[in-house]
Amino acid sequence: MANQFSSHCLTQLSAITSINGFQFRALDLKQDLPTLQSWFNQEYAQFWGMQGLNLAAIENLMAATQHKFALMGEWQGKSLFMVELYDPAHDEIGHHYPVAPGDCGMHLIIAPPDGNPINGLSFKVMDAIAQLVLEKLAFNRLVVEPDQLNSKIHRLNSRVGIRYEKAIQLSTKAAFLGFCTAADRQLESSTPSSMRLTQTTSALPTLAKQDLASPSLTKPSSLAAPITSPMTLSTL
């Protein structure tokens, strides 16, 4: 998978793959760019760091390569989310932990609410993506690096079964490094809901709990490299 990440994944997917009522299809740069531009400019999408970009810049950032590609998720005939899957060995995150065969990184953004918010929809999206990565594509681990300040995604990640290992400093943000396996998902599904709130808090690395207010962790470095790829999950 490491040498042919994108081609390997896409050959495992049909033109449209359906999971739990969501339809996954390959991102169509021409068709989907205006939609993505609208999503990236929402206030909640600040963690993507792509606000104010024109269509050409977004196309350049979202174009598939040998090591990353994006899928659009549709629900009830409408585009609901975009998920980018990538090979951690060819991403900045790979400098912060020993990448193992079968690791798959993931970035996600969900559309703004259209009408009344639907309770639990974001969780269902995350759960479908976890199934896609760990079951349909048969990766060993889902890898995430959410912004430390994105409190909503931390709760959602915990519910899906993602566990944070440590706090890290990327070129564009202070993040948590997290992993999820099929076993983690199974364990989370058997955990009583009354225990989940406690687990969410305890899942945050001790270092980050203590230093979350530190300017060096909560603000991008003044020497940050230009953004070449979306580096976070959206707030959900």
Question: What is this structure's pTM?
Answer: 0.82
Name the band, by pLDDT with cuts 50, 70 and 90, for residue 179: very high
Averaged confidence pLDDT in the chain:
83
Cβ neighbours of residue 141 closer than 8 Å, sequence gap 6 or more? 100, 102, 103, 104, 179, 180, 181
* Residue 83 near residue 107, CB atoms below 8 Å: yes
- CA–CA separation, 159 vs 188, rounded Å? 7
Task: List the Cα angle 15/127/178 in 5-degree steps.
Answer: 110
Amino acid 205: pLDDT: 67
Amino acid 214: pLDDT: 41
* Residue 144 near residue 203, CB atoms below 8 Å: no
